[in-house]
């Protein structure tokens, strides 16, 4: 099957996966979506003896059909190797009656590594497929984890520059330290005086600025994205949901075709969208449980069909979810509107103009795959404490949001379906919030002393990527106003 890609907003042109990966956004500002979903056409039992890389090839090859097999296998093998501290890449950990899918064993200790380890290789291969000679400029907005994972992935990659914008006061101190100490001759990190939505909006506007893109093209540059708006980042995320089901099957925890639930803490909707795509491919999923923090715009949308960003933006202990404009929700709107790009475009215009839209009753009826709830700050903290106390399992704040919402779901539904919880970051990335949840006697310690203390209390070894972080030299110190992002790019690229 030859899968092509088209815009969620009405551009009628269809492009190959190489084009979609390289461009990031469609010409009309829409997101690229597959013209159809490929189907998993072998039994899951036949995958039991396959490695993570082999399952990755099976899934990704179905979506990126213009890549030759050897090239795609090289991309996968260069991504999923000893950079990951666990040889299973994304292991499952059974805790009580739940299964935590640990997605944080990569080089930056967050789930973003799962896709951003392969994206640079996919981009280079796409350039080769299309005979593109321009220097690629990776432009990225981050709420904390994407930035470091993208910087790590694209560090010193030939013929690329990577520019990351992050909210100066909207990430954890460890997340910020990871980014501003990033070496590499092609890496650029800029804090903005605003929140993540401001950074994301600025990046999208730059992608849509034809005059600016023409200027870059004349200077032999081409913009691309490492955010989850890029289909090259979204598709590799499908893999770990399929792989986790195969692990359950291999361990005898489920039978072939037995349905499972998947719980995902999400702000930008990409990670849970990947599980929705997996379900469309044939992964037997009962409920997709969307877990929000106090920025619960997604929770409200799934429960009411109304998406309303006219609310207070809150800084929480789960900063990677401090988002009000969830970019990847647009891809879901496309699917539940019977793939109607004109309807999607109208909804996006309503959001841009009025800060709110409401979907029709037919679209609302198609949200039945999802359940949504949110966790307060207090609930996030108490859940970390309870799971550590009762099961000796340490979670980060984002995973705690997911587990808390799952407990609410079980109380409301009595559903006993086997459930996978996406564990999206190492607890060592958020030491202050985690240690405060289990023992609040250390509030006078610095983050790095808190990391030491967290290791002592939990008997967990400090992950290597964080061990050396304290003494790394700060390289990036630029800060700009949210309306000056384009000027910063001009300065960096000298255009």
- Look at residue 30 in the predicted model and tell me its pLDDT: 95
Q: How far is CA 330 from the centre of its chain?
A: 15
Element (H, E) at 289: strand 285-292
Asked if residue 131 is part of any domain, the answer here is no
pLDDT mean over 243-253:
98
- Look at residue 444 in the predicted model and tell me its pLDDT: 67
Element (H, E) at 22: helix 17-23
Confidence of residue 476 (pLDDT cuts 50, 70, 90): very high
**pLDDT of 130 strictly over 80:** yes
Question: Which two structure tokens, joined as six digits, stand for 15?
Answer: 């492009």
- Look at residue 228 in the predicted model and tell me its pLDDT: 87
Pairing label, strands 306-308, 5-7: unpaired
Asked if residue 315 is part of any domain, the answer here is yes
Asked if residue 184 is part of any domain, the answer here is no
- Look at residue 230 in the predicted model and tell me its pLDDT: 94
Confidence of residue 12 (pLDDT cuts 50, 70, 90): confident
Provide CB contacts within 8 A for 256, sequence distance 6+: 43, 44, 45, 249
* Bridge partners of residue 422, in order along the sequence: 101
How many other C-beta atoms lie within 10 A of the C-beta of residue 86?
Answer: 11
pLDDT mean over 216-227:
93
pLDDT mean over 294-316:
97
Asked if residue 359 is part of any domain, the answer here is yes
Pairing label, strands 356-358, 306-308: antiparallel
Question: Which two structure tokens, joined as six digits, stand for 106?
Answer: 């990569």
Question: What is the C-alpha separation between 396 and 427, in angstroms, rounded?
Answer: 4
Among 388, 409, 390, 353, which residue's Cα sits nearest to residue 458?
388
Contact 328, 268 (CB under 8 A): yes
Q: What are phi and psi of 95, to 5 degrees?
A: -130, 115
Question: What is the C-alpha separation between 69 and 125, in angstroms, rounded?
Answer: 12
- Look at residue 211 in the predicted model and tell me its pLDDT: 94
Alpha helices in 312-357 (DSSP H): 329-336, 341-354
- Look at residue 442 in the predicted model and tell me its pLDDT: 67
**pLDDT of 440 strictly over 80:** no
Q: What are phi and psi of 392, to 5 degrees?
A: 55, 40
Among 174, 237, 190, which residue's Cα sits nearest to residue 397?
174
Q: Tell me the CA distances in angstroms from 390 to 12, 29, 343, 383, 443, one per residue in order.
A: 55, 48, 48, 10, 24
Question: Which two structure tokens, joined as six digits, stand for 367?
Answer: 């949200």
Asked if residue 163 is part of any domain, the answer here is no
Contact 143, 322 (CB under 8 A): yes
Provide CB contacts within 8 A for 460, sequence distance 6+: 394, 427, 428, 454
Contact 222, 22 (CB under 8 A): yes
- For the stretch 355-372, pLDDT in tens is 999 999 999 999 999 999
Question: What is the C-alpha separation between 229 and 293, in angstroms, rounded?
Answer: 22
Catalytic site residues? 112
- For the stretch 14-64, pLDDT in tens is 999 999 999 999 999 999 999 999 999 999 999 999 999 999 999 999 999
- Look at residue 280 in the predicted model and tell me its pLDDT: 98
Asked if residue 84 is part of any domain, the answer here is no
Count of domains in the chain? Answer: 1
Confidence of residue 8 (pLDDT cuts 50, 70, 90): very high
- Look at residue 144 in the predicted model and tell me its pLDDT: 80
- For the stretch 164-174, pLDDT in tens is 999 998 888 89
Pairing label, strands 92-95, 98-102: antiparallel
Asked if residue 181 is part of any domain, the answer here is no
Residue 142 falls in which region: left (phi positive, over 0), alpha (psi -120 to 50) or beta: beta
- Look at residue 52 in the predicted model and tell me its pLDDT: 98
**pLDDT of 233 strictly over 90:** yes
Contact 101, 90 (CB under 8 A): yes
In the block, which residue shows the tokens 């790590």?
152
Asked if residue 15 is part of any domain, the answer here is no
SS3 assignment, position 66: coil
- Look at residue 443 in the predicted model and tell me its pLDDT: 65
How many other C-beta atoms lie within 10 A of the C-beta of residue 414?
Answer: 7
**pLDDT of 375 strictly over 70:** yes
Which residue range is the domain that position 454 belongs to?
92-107+232-460
Question: What is the C-alpha separation between 372 and 370, in angstroms, rounded?
Answer: 7
How many other C-beta atoms lie within 10 A of the C-beta of residue 61?
Answer: 16
- Look at residue 264 in the predicted model and tell me its pLDDT: 98
- Look at residue 441 in the predicted model and tell me its pLDDT: 74
Which CATH number covers residue 96?
3.40.50.1100
Instruction: Give the predicted TM-score (pTM) of the model.
Output: 0.94
Provide CB contacts within 8 A for 306, sequence distance 6+: 300, 356, 357, 358
């Amino acid at each position: 099957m030859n899968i092509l890609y088209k815009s969620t907003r009405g551009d009628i042109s269809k492009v190959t996966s190489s084009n979609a990966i390289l461009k990031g956004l469609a010409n009309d500002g829409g997101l690229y979506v597959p013209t159809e979903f490929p189907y998993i056409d072998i039994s899951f039992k036949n995958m039991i003896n396959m490695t993570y890389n082999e399952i990755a090839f099976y899934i990704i090859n179905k979506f990126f059909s213009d890549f030759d097999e050897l090239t795609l296998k090289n991309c996968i093998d260069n991504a999923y190797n000893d950079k990951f501290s666990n040889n299973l890449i994304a292991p499952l950990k059974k805790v009580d009656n739940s299964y935590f899918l640990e997605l944080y064993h990569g080089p930056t200790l967050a789930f973003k590594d799962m896709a951003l380890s392969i994206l640079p290789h996919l981009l280079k291969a796409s350039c080769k497929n299309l005979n593109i000679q321009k220097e690629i400029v990776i432009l990225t907005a981050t709420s904390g984890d994407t930035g470091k994972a993208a910087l790590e992935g694209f560090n010193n990659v030939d013929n690329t520059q990577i520019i990351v914008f992050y909210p100066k006061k909207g990430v954890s101190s460890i997340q910020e330290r990871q980014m501003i100490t990033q070496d590499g001759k092609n890496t650029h990190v800029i804090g903005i005086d605003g929140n993540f939505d401001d950074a994301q909006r600025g990046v999208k506007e730059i992608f849509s600025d034809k005059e600016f893109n023409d200027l870059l093209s004349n200077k032999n540059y081409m913009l691309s994205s490492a955010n989850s708006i890029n289909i090259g980042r979204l598709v590799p995320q499908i893999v770990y949901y399929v792989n986790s089901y195969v692990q359950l099957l291999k361990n005898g925890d489920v039978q072939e075709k037995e349905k499972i639930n998947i719980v995902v803490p999400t702000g930008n909707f990409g990670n849970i969208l990947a599980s929705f795509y997996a379900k469309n491919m044939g992964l037997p999923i009962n409920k997709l449980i969307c877990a929000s923090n106090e920025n619960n715009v997604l929770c409200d949308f799934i429960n009411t069909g109304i998406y309303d960003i006219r609310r207070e933006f809150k800084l929480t202990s789960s900063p990677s979810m401090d988002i009000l404009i969830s970019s990847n929700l647009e891809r879901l709107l496309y699917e539940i509107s019977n793939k109607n790009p004109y309807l999607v475009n109208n909804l996006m215009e309503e959001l841009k103009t009025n800060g709110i839209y409401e979907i029709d009753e037919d679209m609302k009826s198609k949200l039945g795959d999802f359940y949504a709830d949110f966790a307060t700050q207090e609930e996030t903290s108490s859940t970390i404490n309870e799971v550590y106390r009762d099961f000796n399992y340490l979670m980060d704040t984002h995973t705690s949001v997911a587990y808390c919402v799952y407990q609410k779901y079980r109380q409301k539904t009595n559903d006993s379906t086997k459930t996978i919880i996406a564990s999206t970051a190492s607890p060592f990335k958020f030491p202050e919030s985690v240690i405060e949840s289990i023992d609040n006697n250390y509030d006078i310690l610095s983050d790095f002393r808190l990391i030491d203390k967290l290791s002592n209390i939990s008997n967990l070894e400090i992950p290597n990527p964080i061990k050396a972080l304290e003494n790394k030299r700060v390289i990036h110190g630029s800060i700009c106003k949210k309306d000056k992002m384009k000027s910063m790019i001009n300065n960096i690229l000298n255009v």
